[in-house]
Structures are given as C-alpha cells and as structure tokens.
Structure 1
Amino acid sequence: MATFAKRTFNASVYSSFRPTYPKKLFKDIFEFHRTGKDVAVDLGCGTGQATTELLGHFSTVIGIDPSQPMIEAAQAKHKDKGISFRQGSSEDLSAIIPDDSVDLVISAQAGHWFDWEKVWPETSRILRKGGTAAFWTYAEMRLSEYPFVTPLITAYAQGKDLATSLGPYFERPGRTVLENMLTDVPDPSQMESVMIHRGGLAHFERRYFSGPHFPAHLPPPSPTQIKQVAMQLNMRWRDLLGYFRTWSALQNYHERFPEDLNRVDERFPEDKLVEGLDSQTGQVNVDVSGGDIAVRFWKDLRGEVRKHGGSYGVDELVSVEWPIALLLAKKV
C-alpha cells in the first residue's frame, strides 16, 4: 500500500491510535486451526499489532510487510520478544518462506491490498497439510450509542466531493474491497492455481463479526455467517481524532490541499490543548487545535451528538465499534 511505504508516513502515530484486535477473534481462529504450533506468519504485519498475539501459541513467529517504515517501527516496538520481522511482499514469499513449512498464516487489516490471484496460491504453497489461513479486515466504524451520525461518517469516508470527503483519496480498489467486507475476495477452493499445491485450500468459509449492522449495500450473508460485534472500544473523543489522523486518505488529501492544515475551526472554544501523556491512561494527548478536514469532521460528529444530549467533551468517552470480516481456509 503506497501511502504506508512513504518515508513521510508516521508509523508510531499509526500504532498509537489504531484499535486493537479482540481476543474473541483470535480465540475463534485458534479453535479453527487446532493443529500445528511450530510456525506462524503474519502477512502485512505493519507495526506488529496482531503478530504479538501469536506469541506463546507458536514456537516461531514471523512478521512480513512491504513497508520499510512499518518494519522498522515493529522491530523497535517489539524488540527482544522473539519475533522475526522481514520486509517482503505477500504475493511472493519465495525468498523468505519455503514450501510446506508454516502452520498458520494470518493477515490483519492488509488483505484488501492483496493481489489474491497470487496471494492464495502462495499461501497454499507455504502451508503444511492441516495448516490454516486467517485473513481479516475491519470496515467502516460506527458510534455504538449514536447511530444517527452514521450518515456523516459514510459521507466523510465514502463521499465523492474532492473538498469535503476523503473518499476520493483512498487508494482503490483496495479501499473498496475493505468497504465491501472482503466479499470481492475469490474463494480459493475454486481456484485451480491454488488447488495444485498438494490439496490446496479446499475448506473455506467467511465470518462477519458485525451483529445486525452488516453493510446495507452488500448482499446479506447467511445467518450462520453473522457473529456478534467483537471489536469495540471506549475511547476519549480526543483519541478518536487521533484515530482519524491515521487514515491513509488524510495524508493524500493534505498532499492535494496543503493549505488545509492552516485552516481554523472556532467551534468548541472550550477545547484545550493538553501536551504530553494522559496521567491516568498513559495515552498520548492528541492536539485538538486547528481546523483541517479531520478536525472539522470530528467537530461535526461532536456537534450532532451534542444536539441529541450526548457526551461530547474532548476527554469524555465515546463507544466505537468496527465490523470485522474474517476469511478462514484450511489446507487439506
């Protein structure tokens, strides 16, 4: 993904404000896998957020990412934890991973950038018999207590207006695959290029941790595929702004409109700039000053919540949830 490979990309900020993956998700993956605890590989590992969840379950853990800044951040953050981080492409692992040598392959929030015509065969090549592939992504966020702001979120993230929406600045088709909850990803059990690898990935299934809020623009899955929402986080409003600042499209937007960084938004004059770390949580205190597009969107959300009597102060908590799409495959 080109934005994350840029030297201007701040991997540390990205790591600080991205939500963590729920234990429930890993529990489901490990129960599906069951066999083989020697080698696990995380494709598109980023700063190693999901990679560390494999420690204690597998003897050898390897994280692979095409972005050198991401790999450097992962190595610094997880130094001495016993994880091997390597720069490489998920589409061609031949220089890193030999045939039939891996028990579990995972990928968290990276699969929407994959060339699946290459990644599925490569996954089948490196997996041992009985090995598992588990690839997932989370899609557009919701504010659990304030569903009435969902149209604002959709307009900001998926709109087409070049000046008011980040929609045109996400890299496509990757972002579209994410918005479509990986429904565009082909079934590997139907791909001849996959099945030639010693049985291939003959068992394949999709699971959606979305509860009743499966995206309305997609064909509804079967009831057995729908699981309860598993990824939910109570965060301060200022931390939610920090999350908005990790969106790849925001960097692309500011390259197009650098003057936007100098905008001022005078709404919520009571907001205070607090530097350093929060004394209770240890979290970085996000700069809430300024008026760029991310701040304006953030204030739009808070303004709508205020109208409905909700909590909107920068240090008050807001409940955020993300629907997850999980692809599971097994080499038989």
Structure 2
Amino acid sequence: MTSFAAKSFNAAAYFASRPTYPPAFYDLTLAYHTSRGGEKESALDLGCGPGLIASQLTSRFTTVLGVDPGEKMISVAKSASVLPEDKLAYRVGKGEDLSFIEDSSVDLLTVGQAAHWFDFDVIWNELGRILKPGGSVAFWGYGENTFPNHPSLQGIISKYQASLPWQQPGRSIVEGLLSSLPFPVAPSQAPSPTLNLLSSRPWTLPQEPTPPAELTSTGWDPESMVRIRETPEGGPLGIPKTMTWEEYDDYLGTASGLHEYARLNGEEAGKKLRREFLDEIKEGVKQEGGRDDGKIDVVWPAVVMLAGKKL
C-alpha cells in the first residue's frame, strides 16, 4: 500500500497496464445483488485506484463514489472522468474510516484487488454501517499471472515473485485468492438457492476463517456469504488478456513488490531484476514456439467474494 500511496508512484502507468475485469464480473455481481432484492441507486468502489471499476459502474447505478487512500490515484481517476460529480465522484479516504458516508446509504460496495490491505477487525463494522438493508459487498481479486499456453514457465514466474519483498500478509492473501479473509459472520451451511444462478459450484471452502470477534454491525445474512472461483460452465474464473511484451513489461513495473525492491536496492537494481526476468520469460516462450506477432496470452486466476445484508 505504501508504494501505491507514494507521491512518486506512476498512477497513469498503473491505469494503462493492470488487468481489467471482464463484463462477466459485473454481470455476476449484479445478478447476485438484484437476486437478493438489492437496489441500484448508490455504488461505492473502495480502493478505487484510477477508477477502473467505478467508471464501469456508472451505467448500472444512479450515483457512484470511488475512494482510495492514494492522492495520485484519485487525481488520475478525476482527470479520466468525463461525468459530472453528481454521477461519478472520487475522494481520498480509507475503508476503515468512511465517516463521510451516511449510515445505510450504499447499495453495492465493490473492491477490486484491494481487500488484502484492509484491517478486518475494523472494516466489516464500517461496511455494515454504510450498507442499506439488502446491500451487497463484492471483493474481486486475482493471483499471480499465468501463461496458459506455456505452463512450464510458471516456475520462473514464481521464482521471480518470491524474490520481491512483498508486504505481508497482503501478498499471501492475494496468492491465496482471498481464502484467508473472514466473512462478517459464519456462512450458512445451506446458502440461498438464488446463488445457484451464479456458478455450478460456488460454495465456500469447508473451513472458513473465523469472523471478527468485535462485530458490532448487524443484519448480515449468513446465506449470502460465498466465494466463487469458477465460471458457470465449471472452468476456473480468470481474467484473460493478450499483451505485447512491452505491455507485459509495463505491467511488471506496477508491482508494489518491485517498487519496494528498488527502494531497498536502488532503481538500477530494480530495473536489472525486471529486465532479467522478462528476458528469461521471452526466451522460454520462444523455445516453445510462441506467437509470432510479438504478443503473449496472459491469464490471472480470479475470485469473487460476496457478502450481503438482510432486507
């Protein structure tokens, strides 16, 4: 988080290089939300970064607010928006303190690749306070990228990622696809039948993390708690993207672990590490007869974690 919030962080490059969530993520989340009786007046995107999700929610909700602790992220989001502030607004803030948002005023709250930064002894109370009855929370996350056409190279990726000084426990939460994050209440053993609309086997892991001990917010629906890691067709949930090598290199440059490595070892050392990894991957793809158009197919394994309040 410190890397993304730093004034030197290149938020514009982050905006251009990060994977974007396909329409299926929005469709799935809206199907969940509306099937439980949720309304579509107010949406909040928490940890909004440069506004990737918030801007997409404007076609589905009357008003959207994006909140992020990084001033540069908010600056980029505002500069990219062409909508009036009464439709789409952004402000600096943290999920653990949303005192500027009224009680029971938010229909849907989304979090894209940011839930691993939260203090879960605090945040469920704050989210429970601002959500309306029937409101929903959707955490979207993705793990370490893969090259589906070159699975033999995964070891190189894992070795490189392990060499970076990631902030913990955030990195392990990301790699575990949010499986260690607690729901506000223990999930029901018999989730609502409406959730069958979303996936062939969407249910939670057999052993769930213990919910926060100091939960003061009420109204959470145990039948609404679910983690989804597969598509309705039964395949793994993922974010696919075809990238040029230059785009993939830019994506590598947005990693907080690499920024921390450069801070500890110097900018040149960070560039050298990144360049050596990219050269090794490119050579591996070449040896396996990769695409001849200078591009690479990338997939990030993904998860959608959903929780809702009772009507």
TM-score using structure 1 length:
0.79
Deviation (angstroms), 1:138: 0.6
Deviation (angstroms), 1:171: 1.1
Contact preservation (8 Å) 1:120, 1:194? no
- Correspondence 1:309 to 2:289: yes
Matches within 5 A, 1:39-188: 39-80=42-83, 82-94=87-99, 96-158=100-162, 165-166=163-164, 169-188=165-184
Deviation (angstroms), 1:204: 0.6
Deviation (angstroms), 1:99: 0.8
Decide whether aligned partners of structure 1 residues 252 and 198 sit closer, same or farther in structure 2, where only a CA change above 3 A counts: closer
Gaps of 5+ in 2: 187-210
Which residue matches 1:323?
301
Residue 112 of structure 1 aligns with an amino acid whose one-letter code is H
Tell me whether 249-258 or 226-235 shows the greater mean CA deviation: 226-235
Contact preservation (8 Å) 1:207, 1:327? yes
Percentage of pairs with the same residue: 34
Distance, in Å, in 1 between the alignment partners of 2:236 and 2:282 is: 27
Contact preservation (8 Å) 1:207, 1:227? no
Q: SS at the partner of 1:189? A: coil
RMSD: 2.1
Residue 8 of structure 1 aligns with an amino acid whose one-letter code is S
Distance, in Å, in 2 between the alignment partners of 1:225 and 1:123 is: 32
Deviation (angstroms), 1:170: 1.2
Distance, in Å, in 2 between the alignment partners of 1:102 and 1:229 is: 27
Which residue matches 1:237?
245
Q: SS at the partner of 1:128? A: strand
Distance, in Å, in 1 between the alignment partners of 2:273 and 2:82 is: 36
Residue 118 of structure 1 aligns with an amino acid whose one-letter code is V
TM-score using structure 2 length:
0.85
Deviation (angstroms), 1:229: 3.2
Deviation (angstroms), 1:111: 0.3
Distance, in Å, in 2 between the alignment partners of 1:5 and 1:225 is: 39
Q: SS at the partner of 2:52? A: coil
Which residue matches 1:38?
41
Deviation (angstroms), 1:192: 6.8
Contact preservation (8 Å) 1:208, 1:225? no
Gaps of 5+ in 1: 159-164, 212-223, 264-290
Deviation (angstroms), 1:49: 0.5
Contact preservation (8 Å) 1:124, 1:194? no
Tell me whether 76-85 or 114-123 shows the greater mean CA deviation: 76-85
Distance, in Å, in 2 between the alignment partners of 1:104 and 1:259 is: 40
Which residue matches 1:16?
16
Which residue matches 1:270?
none
Deviation (angstroms), 1:317: 1.5
Distance, in Å, in 2 between the alignment partners of 1:330 and 1:135 is: 12
- Correspondence 1:6 to 2:6: yes
Which residue matches 1:292?
272
